[in-house]
Amino acid sequence: MPDLTRDHIVRLAQLAHLQLTQQELDRVAQELEVILNSVARVQEVATDQVAATSHPIALDNVFRDDVIRGVLSQDQALANAPDAEVGQFKIPAILEADDAR
């Protein structure tokens, strides 16, 4: 574990623009020590025989091929529309003309 001094913690707090009390500095020091010890333990794992991967389990494509079926005509698609114009759904305007950008 790297030596983490109180000065290091104070400097980190300053860099993060944090104003910590002495009690908060003590708590943060303890929490950072636990975190750094955990990271050090993970780094001890022998990984020489383990290939680098992005996922622990191989991923397979589970998608099916696209099949075109049951296509609606334009008239069928618009049949139940509350309002249609020139072969398109017509909806109420939600922006004023000068709001459009």
| Band of residue 93 on the pLDDT scale cut at 50, 70, 90 | confident
Q: In terms of DSSP H, where are the helices of 1-101?
A: 6-15, 22-43, 74-78
pLDDT reading at 73 higher than 80: yes
pTM of the model: 0.45
The answer, yes or no, to whether residue 97 has pLDDT greater than 80, is: no
Radius of gyration of the CA atoms of the chain, in A: 31
- Judge contact between 89 and 78, C-beta under 8 A: yes
Class of domain 6-43: mainly alpha
Q: Which candidate, 34, 9, 35, 8, places its Cα nearest to that of 23?
A: 9
Q: What is the pLDDT of residues 20-66, one digit of tens each?
A: 999 999 999 999 999 999 998 988 887 788 777 888 788 888 888 88
| Residues 51, 19 contacting (CB under 8 angstroms) | no
Instruction: Compute CA distances 30 → 37, 50, 88, 95, whole Å.
Output: 11, 33, 64, 55
pLDDT at 99 exceeding the cut of 70: no
The domain locations on the chain are: 6-43
Q: Which amino acid type is present at position 45?
A: V
Per-residue pLDDT, 50: 77
